[in-house]
Amino acid sequence: MDTSERAAQIRALFDDGGEAVLREAGLPGGWEQALSELSRPLPGSADALQMLSGMREQWAATNRLRPAIAATRGLLRLRIASSGHDHPDTYVELGALGALAQRAGRVAEGGDMLVRAWEGIRRTAGGRDMRLAVVSSNVGLHYVRTGNLEEAERALEVSYRIRKDLAPASVGHVAAQLGEVRLARGSTGEAVDLLGEALEVYRVTFGAEHPRTDNRAQALGALLVNLGRYAEAAAVLRSVAARSDQAPADRRAAVDFDYGVAMYHSGGSEEGLRRIEAAVRATRAMSSEDGTPDRALASRVTVYAGLQLERRRAQEAEGLLQEAVEAERRLHGEDSVQIAERYANLGTFLAKCGRIDEALGFLDVSASLMRSLLGDGDRRTRSVVIKQVSLLLARAKQARERSDQALEGMALTRAFQLAEPVLGYTDARTREIRARLERLGLST
């Protein structure tokens, strides 16, 4: 079937020959020209609806959103005319239109269409239906964008189960999305399994050296590094790192850093350290023209500082932690959660070095920021306060051993002032502080 025959079939779908779709799509050359400019030929056996749908998919894949949206509107009108508003095929097109609208920046409008499509197709399609899987994937991503991770997980789970059963070759991207949502919700073990499954599907579908496969390997490797599963991470990242010299600078730095950390902790310490150092240098070089640091710089130099401290290079470690503080200050400002976390890192380091007064100073600033920005119940706030209280209890113990009741009382009073509002009046640490203050004859 030649281009003119295909164009005639598409025109026959519409009362106006599809002219409204062409105008909305910005395609003045007609269906013949639109077909001839496709990046790959349509299947020879495709009927007119399949051809129009295939054109839409190619336009969407190359980010030509205007013709993709116009074609989807046309397909939606055709579905309504043939099957009515309340039919799975209609809801599939409504969901596709919603997803494209969101990509075009109409987030609220697109989200409304996606939610209506999902509610409709769950009502009208069976539980084992690929149309339901498609809409569930799209609405799951919508919920990820809006921060509703509970609903995102529910929708992606539906898509994952259907694809796993009916079309296992298509499960890779949904397994990856569901894994990342579960990771964000704290289900780390399930996340690792899903990201590993996604990687295996990508290897089969695209090949072991395809960029998409490398992306999946990099995501899984980074997670394994964060979990301290270094040998597994090194095995996953090894082939990606071997090809990283062909990648853009930011991707090469990310792969080198994660692979370096994995190697350092799993037996290849010197080569791992060289990769980490190279990644840190590359990340520094990725600062913008106005000097704004790359977003990964603070976390990478913080990890590097920890390795330097392990190697008894405290001065270098302190300099790196100060660099992390400055990077967060440039990126997020002085009053931010990010800089509060870096102050906590610096305070913890100084405590390890025995510089308790300086450590408490940085931890005080960190805790104050976290209490105002995150609240007393946040785990990060509690973690910093626990560090402060532990240092103050150790100081009180030393004062007691020197029979310095004044210093002991001051340390315990300050510890109680920190512990009671954040850890709670009945927390074991708070109770211990109260008991020790009472023994000194001091009230709380």
- Return the pLDDT at 3: 87
- Return the pLDDT at 345: 92
Residue closest to 244 by CA, chosen among 270, 206, 282: 282
- Return the pLDDT at 139: 96
Tell me how crowded residue 341 is: count the other CB atoms within 10 A of its CB: 22
- Return the pLDDT at 289: 82
- Return the pLDDT at 443: 72
Residue closest to 319 by CA, chosen among 308, 333, 330: 308
Diameter over CA atoms, the chain? 99
Q: How far is CA 4 from CA 35, 126, 179, 225, in A?
A: 9, 38, 46, 56
51 with 6: CB under 8 angstroms? yes
- Please report where in the chains the tokens 């920046």 appear, as a residue: 105
Query: What contacts 24+ positions apart, CB below 8 Å, involve 102-111?
Result: 102/142, 102/145, 103/60, 103/63, 103/65, 104/65, 104/69, 107/145, 110/142, 111/142, 111/145, 111/146
Q: Is 61 exposed, middle or buried (0-12, 13-18, 19+ CB in 10 A)?
A: exposed
272 with 260: CB under 8 angstroms? yes
- Please report where in the chains the tokens 């315990």 appear, as a residue: 412
pTM of the predicted structure, to 2 decimals? 0.78
Residues 145-183 as b/e (b if ≥16 CB within 10 A, e otherwise) read: eeeebebbbebbbbbbbbbeeeeeebbbbbbbbbbbbbb
Residues 188-213 as b/e (b if ≥16 CB within 10 A, e otherwise) read: eeebbebbbbbbebbbeeeeeeeeeb
Tens of each residue's pLDDT in the chain, 444 residues:
688 999 999 999 999 999 999 999 999 999 999 999 888 888 877 789 999 999 999 999 999 999 999 999 999 999 999 999 999 999 999 999 999 999 999 999 999 999 999 999 999 998 889 999 999 999 999 999 999 999 999 999 999 999 999 999 999 999 999 999 999 999 999 999 999 999 999 999 999 999 999 999 999 999 999 999 999 999 999 999 998 888 888 999 999 999 999 999 998 788 999 999 999 999 999 988 888 999 999 999 999 999 998 889 999 999 999 999 999 999 998 899 999 999 999 999 999 889 999 999 999 999 999 999 999 999 999 999 999 999 999 999 998 999 899 998 999 999 999 999 999 888 888 998 988 888 888 776
Distance from C-alpha of 328 to C-alpha of 310, rounded to nearest angstrom: 24
- Return the pLDDT at 171: 95
Tell me how crowded residue 18 is: count the other CB atoms within 10 A of its CB: 24
Distance from C-alpha of 59 to C-alpha of 306, rounded to nearest angstrom: 48
Q: What is the DSSP string of 40-58?
A: SPPPTT--HHHHHHHHHHH
Structure tokens given for 97: 């239109």
- Return the pLDDT at 290: 84
- Return the pLDDT at 439: 86
Structure tokens given for 380: 């990060």
429 with 411: CB under 8 angstroms? no
- Please name the amino acid found at residue 67: P
Distance from C-alpha of 432 to C-alpha of 426, rounded to nearest angstrom: 10
- Return the pLDDT at 107: 92
- Return the pLDDT at 1: 63
272 with 261: CB under 8 angstroms? yes
End-to-end CA distance of the chain: 88
